[in-house]
């Protein structure tokens, strides 16, 4: 009996504490809500842009090949203050289809006041964008600060946003389930908090706040489980880019002309993965290396002198951290700042070597060198001095050797029923319209206006093992559909194996 009485007394004592905790959370959220905004795209461009290396061309060919003018949408965001100025933080995918002109992006405050905004910069890889108000925001808008210390698993958090674009200032409660999650897909791979605070379409870009009302992360992704031909939403598995990484990226964007600072190595690293949809995959992949391997170096790069003699070596560790996949290698590269040394532990046939490379700053010139390197491997060359990025396929033998046993993969845009022959490529110079992954089930392509744009798309899409180019016949009539083709490069040279590739 005494034990029962004790438990009842303890329960009674917990009620006021729980009530006080809920009351405290309500007051915190009242303050946090005024820093949250709805981000709306009123006019879309044609084709997504890779934030960080963006183009400005608006040639008619874009509209013909990738007409996304009806893709207006909305998402969430929140306001921070830097050096006395307000900025809006959101996801890149919320605004990457916005047109490059005045009046394309607006944000709505808590009292539904509409403010025009413009893009300061961003990074498609981390799915992060920074906007600024074109005029002075009203007094109803407040700013919110990022959390400075690491959050712990089990801490309560709250996702605030505009789910489905119809329910602004919705709040969902949860806890931190896990930290430092790595995600698949083309963008947003590293540094994610996993949380049970439900995120729905339209919450993207909103803040994940802690019990003190500080930003613990930026709501970015939701999870799906594949069951046969269906994808089932997992509402208890949600992801937010954690505060420490977010702060670093935003500082770079605000101080580096809208770009994230990255190191340049000039290395190509690849890992094989069986194509499970191909009946020959098991036989073809039996003797391939599934661990990350140095497969090439970019001429004139830091890696050219240090790593050229180590082609074929397995990358065991980067900067002392063991790596097992392309994603883990990329994660270590992303932690390296320009000018820093990066150390590789490499192995081949039982022999282990440690090699150091001194990095340089990644910029438009170094990105162009990556595009030149990849294009040359395909039997093509990028033409300089042209208004649009133009590629000339001038080496049929090199192209054939690269393609090897892979399907030709040349079609008229939107028509993959009838493959076109190789000589289609070699009959003309081609303007590169876009690059990425074209898929019936949800690929992603980015428009291309220069070689730096192409390299950004290569870096984003290479981890899948395929790259799709959308090409327009130079000098052709933009109204003629036969002047638009898409070309798929299977990086392994075999339909049975995906060669996940990283150019960095």
> Which active-site residues does the annotation give?
93, 127, 204
SS3 string, 122-173, reads EECCCCEEEEEECCCCCCCCCCCCECCCCCCCCCEEEEEECHHHCCCCEEEE
Neighbours of 247 (CB within 10 A): 16
Structural contact between residues 484 and 412, judged by C-beta atoms closer than 8 angstroms: yes
Neighbours of 335 (CB within 10 A): 15
Record the tokens describing residue 348, joined without a space: 């081949």
R_g of the chain, CA atoms, integer Å: 25
What torsion, rounded to 10 degrees, do the Cα atoms 357, 361, 363, 367 define?
A: 10
d(CA 55, CA 252): 20
Q: What φ, ψ does residue 236 adopt, rounded to 5°?
A: -95, 5
Q: At what angle do helices 451-461 and 364-377 cross, to 10 degrees?
A: 70
d(CA 38, CA 169): 9
Structural contact between residues 455 and 53, judged by C-beta atoms closer than 8 angstroms: yes
Record the tokens describing residue 50, joined without a space: 């890779």
Record the tokens describing residue 310, joined without a space: 């180590």
Record the tokens describing residue 311, joined without a space: 């082609």
Neighbours of 54 (CB within 10 A): 22
SS3 198: coil
């Amino acid at each position: 009996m005494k034990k029962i009485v004790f438990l009842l007394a303890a329960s009674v004592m917990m009620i006021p504490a729980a009530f006080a905790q809920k009351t405290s959370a309500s007051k915190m959220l009242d303050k946090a809500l005024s820093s949250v905004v709805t981000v709306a795209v009123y006019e879309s461009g044609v084709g997504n842009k890779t934030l960080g290396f963006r183009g400005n061309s608006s040639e008619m060919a874009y509209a013909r090949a990738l007409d996304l003018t009806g893709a207006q949408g909305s998402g969430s965001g929140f306001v921070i203050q830097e050096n006395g100025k307000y900025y809006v933080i959101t996801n890149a995918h919320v605004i990457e289809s916005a047109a490059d002109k005045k009046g394309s992006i607006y944000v709505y405050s808590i009292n539904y006041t509409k403010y025009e905004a413009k893009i300061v910069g961003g990074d498609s890889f981390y799915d992060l964008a920074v906007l600024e108000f074109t005029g002075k925001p009203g007094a109803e808008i407040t700013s919110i600060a990022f959390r400075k210390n690491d959050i712990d698993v089990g801490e309560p958090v709250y996702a605030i946003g505009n789910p489905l674009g119809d329910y602004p200032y919705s709040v969902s409660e949860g806890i931190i389930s896990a930290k430092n999650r790595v995600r698949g897909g083309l963008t947003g791979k590293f540094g994610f908090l996993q949380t049970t605070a439900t995120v729905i379409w339209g919450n993207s870009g909103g803040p994940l706040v802690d019990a003190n009302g500080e930003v613990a992360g930026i709501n970015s992704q939701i999870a799906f489980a594949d069951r046969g031909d269906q994808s089932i939403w997992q509402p208890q598995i949600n992801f937010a880019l954690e505060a420490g990484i977010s702060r670093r990226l935003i500082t770079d964007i605000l101080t580096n002309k809208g770009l994230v600072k990255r190191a340049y190595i000039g290395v190509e690293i690849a890992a094989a993965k069986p194509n499970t949809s191909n009946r020959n995959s098991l036989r073809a992949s039996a003797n391939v290396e599934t661990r990350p391997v140095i497969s090439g170096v970019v001429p004139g790069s830091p890696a050219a002198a240090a790593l050229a003699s180590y082609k074929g070596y397995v990358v065991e560790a980067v900067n002392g951290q063991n790596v097992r996949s392309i994603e883990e290698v990329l994660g270590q590269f992303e932690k390296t700042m320009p000018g820093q040394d990066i150390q590789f532990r490499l192995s081949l046939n039982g022999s282990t070597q440690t090699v150091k490379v001194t990095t340089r700053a990644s910029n438009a010139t170094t990105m162009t060198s990556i595009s030149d390197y990849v294009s040359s491997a395909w039997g093509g060359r990028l033409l300089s001095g042209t208004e649009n990025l133009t590629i000339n396929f001038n080496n049929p033998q090199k192209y054939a050797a690269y393609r090897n046993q892979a399907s030709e993969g040349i079609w008229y845009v939107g028509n993959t029923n009838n493959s076109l022959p190789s000589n289609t490529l070699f009959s003309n110079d081609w303007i590169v319209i876009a690059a990425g992954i074209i898929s019936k089930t949800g690929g992603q392509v980015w428009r291309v206006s220069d070689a730096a744009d192409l390299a950004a798309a290569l870096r984003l899409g290479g981890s899948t093992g395929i790259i799709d180019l959308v090409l327009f016949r130079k000098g052709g009539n933009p109204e003629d559909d036969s002047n638009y083709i898409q070309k798929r490069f299977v990086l392994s040279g075999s339909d049975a194996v995906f060669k996940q590739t990283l150019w960095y």
